[in-house]
DNA sequence: CATCAGTGGGAATGCGCTTTCCCAACTCGC
DNA sequence: GCGAGTTGGGAAAGCGCATTCCCACTGATG
């Protein structure tokens, strides 16, 4: 990467590098009209492109925002990334991407790499975890973040704080009301239902999953229902599929006929995110079960690409893009912490996948499906 | 962003900055054991993180890969981005993201920004366009890329070369066999069918769309069928939806009864990408039409998140992740141009959305659906 | 014992830019 | 018309690091 330099431009324009610098970048001092014109012409003719590395070095700031996600191809993260990207653009910065599959060790490495590049701020979108095997990794990640913040860096993390992070200056958390929303979802599903509730959760210790599980159980309890059974599996589509296969076997093994109350009890499945729900639905289908006839299912996130899924998936809408945007703005100091402590809200969106369909149940709410 | 510097480490270790630099980064010369240990200890205790900007400036290379996509939340680009990210990791580089919505002016700007950051290579994933309104923008983009290449940069573009780019040193294209695969799809769909074929295409001038349209028509022609009508719309889900609404009206307006041949002619819709197909399918459904009973539909890309869509979407599988990987490797000079001119292959994947279902047609191939 | 290649460390230069400081020329007011 | 204030440009000192060159010292060789 060779390219013409500022001094070359300056020489061609017959001015000093200082002057060239002043006209080519918005300095406080603006040289005279004629000189400015000469310099600009020289720059143009030389195809001058400022060296951002050198600029960064001189100004000690890079115009970079580091973004950490588990997997950029996961629609959840992709949506957040879009928001981050958008906010970055507003700020005139560029985003530096790192994918870590949720491994704290990789995340630590990514933070170090961002720090090395002197990123102005870091946004961590990946769900936090408190799993025992992540303990050491989390500690090191927290230490790395701490160091980054001490050096003046800004960190925003989505959902939960990193385990062990002492909230120093420059450390922000964008809270996501996972628990409350899950409770709300449970409440809505519990209305005039007495289905068997089952939760397909991610690995224990994954905060996002745990919050949603806890919230759902709370909602059930508030409705006077017993806690749902929890099936733990991978936090992705294939995890949902596996769980779905297992559940399908059980649903088929306990036919309605066995029910003493005289009418069918359906299984209502709550998968802690949409892609898991889709996986589970696919599994049920492949086992010959129909939704919502033989079982109902709900997810979480309201992934855009899944909106046209059939049967339309009941879920909890989360403003993912806004979450990304807000995290990015917060890390840039554009949102006062105290001014707006938490502005992320979602809402339960019931669609066909949890509709009541059994005549014997005596209830059949027709819920609107969008578009 | 302040942080401890190399000289601080050197001073603490009681050596010169030169020596510290040699031990802390894989230099050709390796200082003695004891000294190295002292330096490493000093660095550790100071929490030293090398300043990548300064390193880049000194070595004139940045370890950065620029990635240009239309929209990172679009699953097509997200999948490619995953491949790019993966390959970047292999190379020990980081990826810098830019989204442009396909506007050449924005793309030019992104290239300039990457050049300013002295990115080692640039991967352009967005589909190229030859629309008249993009003419000027394309010229400027080509010029910018040219300059970047002349300065030693490496560019890889997915699909088609940028319009007007003179293929200088360091300019690579990863060809995607859109046309051939579309022809193949048409051929498969044309087998023992005499449906009315309709193509939902993107804006004229968008290469990816045009290639697929052209290929599909060729496949139809090769099968002895007349060319399909083309409906042009936006290259995204909502475009597909709009087109679907229009088509639904027509399908409903021309009932089977009107057919002189005595049996029903279905409309077979080819949408030039999966999300458009999904949009169209949603529109048909909302108009009360069923797929594949009242119309069949096929897409292109085989987006992972859409695999569980119902009815399962016939499409053309493209190894998106591999495309991203390969583009990135090529730009890094890891793949000889001549050695492997084109290794991207896809395959037609027929699923339920194009199944024959009308008894009157006398044909009802049961095609396997995956999972 | 003197010379020489070889080794291991440091001084110094430069990567491309920003920014402070400095100085010449100029404008203004009395 | 002259000093004070102002303007506009340049010189130079870094920003943090890699790297070339140089030097002192070692052990081997004739």
Q: Which nucleotide is nearest to A19 (CA to C1')?
A: D9
Q: Does B40 lie in the same domain as B75?
A: no
How far is CA B361 from its chain centroid?
38
Instruction: Lowest mean pLDDT of A264-278, A333-347, B153-167, B206-220, name the range.
Output: A333-347
Any CB–CB contact under 8 A between B117 and chain A?
yes
Distance in angstroms (rounded) separating the CA atoms of residues A91 and B357: 55
**Terminal Cα-to-Cα distance of chain B (whole angstroms):** 51
Closest CA to B306 of B274, B272, B273: B274
Give the gyration radius of chain B's Cα atoms: 26
Q: How many CB atoms lie within 10 A of CB B141?
A: 29
* Contacting residues of A for B371, CB less than 8 Å apart: 241, 282, 286
- Establish if B122 belongs to a structural domain: yes
The pair of structure tokens assigned to A264 is 């069918």
CA trace torsion A182, A187, A189, A192 (10° rounding): 170
Mean pLDDT for A232-236 is 95
Any CB–CB contact under 8 A between B190 and chain A?
no
Residue with tokens 């087998």: B191
pLDDT: which is higher, B369 or B238:
B238
Q: Percentage of chain B with pLDDT > 70?
A: 89
pLDDT at A264 over 80: no
pLDDT tens sequence across B103-115: 999 999 999 999 9
CA trace torsion A344, A349, A354, A359 (10° rounding): 140
Contact B51 A116 (CB under 8 A): yes
Domain hosting residue A38, numbered range: 6-50
Q: Does A184 lie in the same domain as A157?
A: no
pLDDT at residue A192, rounded to an integer: 63
Q: Does A272 lie in the same domain as A183?
A: yes
pLDDT at residue A194, rounded to an integer: 66
Judge contact between B34 and A92, C-beta under 8 A. Answer: no
Any CB–CB contact under 8 A between B350 and chain A?
no
- Best A57, A59, A73 member to test B by mutation, with max B CBs in 10 Å, is A73
Reported as a pLDDT band with limits 50, 70 and 90, residue B245 is: very high
Distance in angstroms (rounded) separating the CA atoms of residues B266 and B358: 9
Any CB–CB contact under 8 A between B105 and chain A?
no
pLDDT tens sequence across B326-366: 999 999 877 765 556 668 999 999 999 998 754 444 333 34
Mean pLDDT for B293-314 is 94
* Contacting residues of A for B64, CB less than 8 Å apart: 96
- Establish if A120 belongs to a structural domain: yes
pLDDT at residue B339, rounded to an integer: 57
Q: Does B244 lie in the same domain as B106?
A: no
Q: Does B229 lie in the same domain as B153?
A: no
Q: Does B233 lie in the same domain as B357?
A: yes
Q: Does B68 lie in the same domain as B21?
A: no
Any CB–CB contact under 8 A between A69 and chain B?
no
Distances (CA, A) of B321 to A110, A180, B207: 21, 37, 20
Choose one of A174, A197, A231: the last residue of a domain: A174
* Contacting residues of A for B98, CB less than 8 Å apart: 94
Å from the A55 CA to the D9 C1': 22
Contact A78 B82 (CB under 8 A): no
Q: Percentage of chain B with pLDDT > 90?
A: 62
Q: Helix B135-150 and helix B104-116: axis angle, to 10°? A: 20
pLDDT at A214 over 50: yes
pLDDT at B307 over 90: yes
Q: Does A194 lie in the same domain as A170?
A: no
Distances (CA, A) of A35 to A15, A42, A236: 8, 11, 60
Q: Does A256 lie in the same domain as A165?
A: no
Distance in angstroms (rounded) separating the CA atoms of residues B99 and A324: 15
Closest CA to B159 of B118, B216, B210: B210
Mean pLDDT for A303-324 is 95
Give how far B100 is from chain A: nearest CA, Å: 10
Distances (CA, A) of B370 to A62, A340, B349: 47, 48, 10
- Establish if A128 belongs to a structural domain: yes
Mean pLDDT for B295-323 is 95
Residue with tokens 């680009």: B77
Q: For B184, left (φ over 0), alpha (ψ -120 to 50), or beta?
A: alpha
Judge contact between B151 and A2, C-beta under 8 A. Answer: yes
Å from the B16 CA to the D17 C1': 13
- Establish if A321 belongs to a structural domain: no
Any CB–CB contact under 8 A between B210 and chain A?
no
Choose one of B157, B174, B191: the last residue of a domain: B174
Name, in order, each residue with C-beta under 8 angstroms of B352's C-beta and a sequence gap of 6 or more. Answer: B292, B310, B311, B312, B314, B367, B369
pLDDT tens sequence across A52-108: 999 999 988 899 999 999 999 999 999 999 999 999 999 999 999 999 998 999 999
Beta partners for residue B297, in sequence order = B269
Judge contact between A31 and A77, C-beta under 8 A. Answer: no
Mean pLDDT for A19-24 is 89
- Establish if B321 belongs to a structural domain: no
Reported as a pLDDT band with limits 50, 70 and 90, residue B367 is: very low
**Cross-chain CB nearest to A98 (options B61, B94, B237):** B94
Closest CA to B155 of B143, B145, B163: B145
Closest protein residue to D9 (Cα–C1')? A19
pLDDT at residue B259, rounded to an integer: 46
Closest CA to B89 of A140, A123, A72: A72
Q: Which residue in chain A has the smallest CA separation from B370?
A: A286
Q: Across chain A, how many H-helices and E-strands are there?
A: 12, 11
Contact B96 A98 (CB under 8 A): no
The pair of structure tokens assigned to A139 is 């500690």
- Best A24, A116, A271 member to test B by mutation, with max B CBs in 10 Å, is A116
Give how far A53 is from chain B: nearest CA, Å: 5
Residue with tokens 């050491």: A136
- Establish if A1 belongs to a structural domain: no
Closest CA to A224 of A262, A261, A255, A187: A187
Distance in angstroms (rounded) separating the CA atoms of residues A46 and A52: 17
Contact A94 B95 (CB under 8 A): no
Give how far B334 is from chain A: nearest CA, Å: 18
**Strand D contact at CB of residue A35, distance < 7 A:** yes
Cβ-based burial of A103 (10 A; exposed 0-12, middle 13-18, buried ≥19)? middle
- Best A43, A60, A64, A97 member to test B by mutation, with max B CBs in 10 Å, is A97
Judge contact between A68 and A124, C-beta under 8 A. Answer: yes
Query: What is the Cβ-side half-sphere exposure of residue A73, based on CA atoms within 13 angstroms?
Result: 19
Q: How many CB atoms lie within 10 A of CB A4?
A: 17
CATH of residue A103's domain is 3.40.50.2300
pLDDT at residue B127, rounded to an integer: 82
Distances (CA, A) of A204 to A128, A133, A157, A210, A232: 12, 11, 20, 7, 7
Residues in chain A: 371
- Establish if B46 belongs to a structural domain: yes
* Contacting residues of B for A113, CB less than 8 Å apart: 52, 94
* Contacting residues of B for A304, CB less than 8 Å apart: 73
The count of domains in chain B is: 3
Q: Which residue in chain B has the smallest CA separation from A54?
A: B57
Phi, psi of B259 (to 5 degrees): -75, 130
Q: Does B121 lie in the same domain as B207?
A: no
Å from the A29 CA to the D2 C1': 29
* Contacting residues of A for B309, CB less than 8 Å apart: 308-310
Q: Provide residues 59-98 of B with CB closer than 7 Å to any strand D atom.
A: 59
Beta partners for residue A118, in sequence order = none
The H or E element spanning position B316 is: strand B315-317
pLDDT tens sequence across B90-149: 999 999 999 999 899 999 999 999 999 999 999 999 888 888 888 889 999 999 999 999
**Cross-chain CB nearest to B308 (options A51, A74, A281):** A281
Give how far B33 is from chain A: nearest CA, Å: 26
pLDDT tens sequence across A143-199: 999 999 988 899 999 998 888 877 678 899 999 999 999 999 999 999 866 678 999
The pair of structure tokens assigned to B143 is 């010029």
Distances (CA, A) of B72 to A91, B26, B81, B243: 18, 35, 8, 24
pLDDT tens sequence across A318-337: 999 999 999 999 998 777 65
Nucleotides of C under 7 A from a protein CB: 8-12, 14-20
Q: Percentage of chain A with pLDDT > 70?
A: 89
pLDDT at residue A358, rounded to an integer: 47
Choose one of B125, B147, B174: the last residue of a domain: B174
Phi, psi of A350 (to 5 degrees): -85, 130
* Contacting residues of B for A275, CB less than 8 Å apart: 305
pLDDT tens sequence across B254-264: 765 344 444 56
Any CB–CB contact under 8 A between B158 and chain A?
no
The pair of structure tokens assigned to A19 is 């002057």
Mean pLDDT for A221-249 is 94
State the alpha helices, DSSP H only, in chain B.
Answer: 6-13, 17-24, 33-46, 52-59, 75-90, 104-116, 135-150, 178-190, 207-222, 237-253, 274-286, 320-331
Cβ-based burial of A25 (10 A; exposed 0-12, middle 13-18, buried ≥19)? exposed
Residue with tokens 């492109």: A49
Any CB–CB contact under 8 A between B91 and chain A?
no
Phi, psi of B350 (to 5 degrees): -85, 130
Mean pLDDT for A362-370 is 40
The H or E element spanning position A196 is: strand A196-201
Give how far A29 is from chain B: nearest CA, Å: 23
Judge contact between A210 and A240, C-beta under 8 A. Answer: no
Cβ-based burial of A14 (10 A; exposed 0-12, middle 13-18, buried ≥19)? exposed
pLDDT tens sequence across B174-231: 999 999 999 999 999 998 666 789 999 999 999 999 999 999 999 999 999 999 999 9
pLDDT: which is higher, A204 or B260:
A204
- Establish if B333 belongs to a structural domain: no
Output the average pLDDT for chain A: 87
Residue with tokens 């001119």: B341
Q: Does B307 lie in the same domain as B225?
A: yes
| CA angle in degrees (0–180, nearest 5) for A236-A239-A240 | 85
* Contacting residues of A for B279, CB less than 8 Å apart: 308
**Strand D contact at CB of residue B27, distance < 7 A:** yes
pLDDT: which is higher, B265 or A319:
A319
pLDDT: which is higher, A370 or A237:
A237
**Cross-chain CB nearest to B53 (options A3, A57, A99):** A57
Q: Does B254 lie in the same domain as B215?
A: yes
DSSP tag of A181: H
Distance in angstroms (rounded) separating the CA atoms of residues A136 and A302: 33
Å from the A298 CA to the D6 C1': 72
Any CB–CB contact under 8 A between A54 and chain B?
yes
DSSP tag of A359: G
Distance in angstroms (rounded) separating the CA atoms of residues A238 and A234: 7
DSSP tag of A347: E
Distance in angstroms (rounded) separating the CA atoms of residues B94 and B277: 34
* Contacting residues of A for B71, CB less than 8 Å apart: 82
């Amino acid at each position: 990467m060779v390219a013409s330099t500022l001094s070359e431009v300056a020489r061609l324009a017959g001015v000093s590098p200082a002057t060239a610098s002043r006209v080519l970048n918005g300095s406080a001092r603006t040289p005279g009209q004629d000189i400015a014109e000469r310099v600009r012409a020289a720059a143009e003719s030389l195809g001058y492109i400022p060296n951002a590395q050198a600029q960064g070095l001189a100004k000690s700031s890079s115009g970079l925002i580091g973004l950490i996600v588990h997997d950029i191809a996961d629609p959840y993260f992709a949506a957040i990334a879009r928001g981050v990207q958008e906010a970055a653009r507003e700020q005139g910065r560029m985003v530096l991407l790192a994918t870590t599959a949720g491994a704290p060790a990789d995340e630590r490495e990514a933070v170090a790499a961002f720090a090395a590049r002197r990123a102005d701020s870091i946004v961590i979108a990946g769900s936090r975890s408190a799993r025992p095997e992540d303990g050491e990794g989390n500690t090191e990640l927290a230490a790395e973040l701490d160091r980054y913040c001490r050096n003046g860096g800004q960190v925003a993390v989505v959902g939960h704080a990193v385990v062990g992070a002492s909230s120093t200056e420059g450390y922000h958390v964008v809270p996501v009301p996972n628990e409350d929303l899950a409770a709300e979802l449970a409440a809505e599903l519990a209305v005039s239902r007495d289905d068997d509730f089952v939760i397909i959760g991610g690995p224990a210790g994954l905060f996002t999953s745990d919050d949603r599980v806890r919230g759902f159980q709370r909602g059930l309890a508030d409705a006077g229902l017993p806690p749902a059974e929890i099936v733990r599996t991978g936090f992705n589509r294939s995890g949902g599929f596996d769980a779905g296969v297992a559940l399908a076997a059980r649903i088929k093994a306990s036919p309605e006929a066995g029910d003493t109350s005289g009418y069918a009890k359906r299984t209502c499945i709550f998968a802690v995110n949409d892609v898991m729900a889709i996986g589970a639905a696919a599994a049920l289908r492949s086992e010959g079960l129909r939704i919502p006839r033989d079982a109902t299912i709900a997810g979480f996130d309201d992934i855009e690409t899944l909106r046209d899924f059939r049967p339309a998936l009941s879920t909890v809408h989360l403003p993912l893009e806004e979450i990304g945007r807000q995290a990015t703005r917060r890390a840039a100091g554009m949102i006062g912490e105290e001014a707006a402590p938490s502005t992320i809200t979602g809402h339960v969106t019931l669609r066909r996948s949890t509709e009541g369909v059994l005549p014997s149940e005596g209830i059949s709410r027709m819920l609107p499906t969008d578009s």
